[in-house]
Structure 1
Amino acid sequence: MRKSKTSLIFQAAIDIFSEKGFDKATMDDIAARANVAKGTIYYHFKSKEELFLFLVEEGIELLREGVESKLLPEMPPREKLELIVREQIHFFGQYRDFCVILLRESWGGEDRQREFRKMIRSYMLLIEEVIKEGMDTGVFQRVNAEYAAAGIFGMISIAALHILLGHAPYDEEVLFTDMKRMAFTGLLTE
């Protein structure tokens, strides 16, 4: 299949899953939106579930690679964590439909949840390593790094989804300022 057809199918699937949700979306809908035969989609993906998981995996990989490409070894842990927060917020703003799919549909069946956790885990490991580095250098408090990474990912993700599904404008700078404050100092004024 030519790259252009792959891109059309990919974008059509994102659009349809975002608009209709996984359960109501059909391969016919995706084929019609991509302007390709349904058989073309089935040639590459055995099922709607396989296509959906492929989209999620590609999106998470794009997020992880985007963040990794900007992290420099010489950056201090605080700066690294700020960069992660900023880049995740930017990514969700840039790929709004993907964000909606990822977060709204992640509560699907048990098999889908297991696959999602596996895919997201690769990104959360990146956050976890920065937290461990910060703890090792005495910059961050001692916490369970895995839970802290999940908390940071979740906090940013749910806040972004709340804005994207609501009516407020997606102001990346305001969201970054608030999420950075929550990640580094919490709600307390002391």
Structure 2
Amino acid sequence: MTKPINRKNEILKVARNLFLTKDYDKATMGDIMDALEIAKGTIYHYFRSKEALFEAVIEDIVEENIKHMRTLVKNTPKNALEKIQLLVNAGNISQENEKILEQLHKPANDALHSRLLAATLMKQAPLYAEIIQQGCAEGIFKTEVPLECAEFILSAIQFLTDMGIYPWTEQDLKRRMQAFPILIERLLQAPPGSFQFLV
């Protein structure tokens, strides 16, 4: 007999593959039941609706990415700036999950989109705060509030560059992206040019 946690993970894995290959609107719970050869009651025991399953898939993607980021930080002997650059590169989940994340930009999913952005921020901020604290010890940064700096920076970047939330023009987006390195350097009192890799 399959253990509940294993069954739930099986459903998530199949659903993730389904949402990566089929439009969300056309994907059905029946597709997943057929693929796993499970009864309707089984899938609805774990997920009350397709929307709930979709949300769980995205949360699973985010959690998987956070684990990867934690491993990077733990296993690299680099200085704080180099670690931040590693995290920024590792934090981009859109490339492998493009079709899934496209669904979040649909008006019907606005609330889910905002919740997941906020959840991602809350999981990433402590990682960045740890590195900012390291940077303070190394003399690269200077702040007494590393966690709040991390929250402020991440929320600004995530929300102000999200085309699903704000209908920026390419020029608007470029202007903001060019300003972020300067603003972050001032907030963390970092050497000029430290965050130009963001542009």
If the TM-score is normalised by the length of the shorter chain, which range does it land in? 0.5 to 0.7
Tell me by how many angstroms 1:126 deviates: 4.1
1:149 to 154, 162, 170: 154
Equivalent AA in structure 2 for residue 85 of structure 1: V
Q: 1:55 to 1:8 in 2, by over 3 A?
A: same
Q: Deviation string for 1:97-120 (max 9, x for gaps)?
A: 4x541x212224232123212322
Q: Percent identity?
A: 26
Relative to structure 1, is the Cα distance of residues 69 and 118 closer, same or farther in structure 2, using a 3 angstrom cutoff?
Answer: same
For the pair shown, the structure with the greater C-alpha radius of gyration is 2
How many residue pairs get matched? 160
The counterpart of 1:88, out of the listed 87, 91, 102, is 91
Q: Distance in 2 between matches of 1:7 and 1:127?
A: 26
Could you list the structure 1 runs, at least 4 aligned residues long, displaced by more than 6 angstroms after superposition.
151-154
- Counterpart CA distance in 2 for 1:152 and 1:84 is 14
Of 76, 98, 104, 2:79 maps to 76
**Which deviates more from structure 2 when the two are superposed, residues 110-119 or residues 46-55?**
110-119
CA-CA distance at 1:75 after TM superposition: 4.7
User: Quick one: higher RCO (CA 8 Å, sep 6+), 1 or 2?
Assistant: 1
Aligned to 1:161: none
- Contact 1:26 1:48 survives alignment (8 Å): yes
What's the Cα RMSD here?
4.0
Letter of the structure 2 residue corresponding to residue 149 of structure 1: L
Deviates more, 1:59-68 or 1:125-134: 125-134
Q: Does 1:31 align with 2:36?
A: no
Q: Which runs of 5+ in 2 are unaligned?
A: 144-148, 164-193
Instruction: Using structure 2 for the length normalisation, give the TM-score.
Output: 0.59
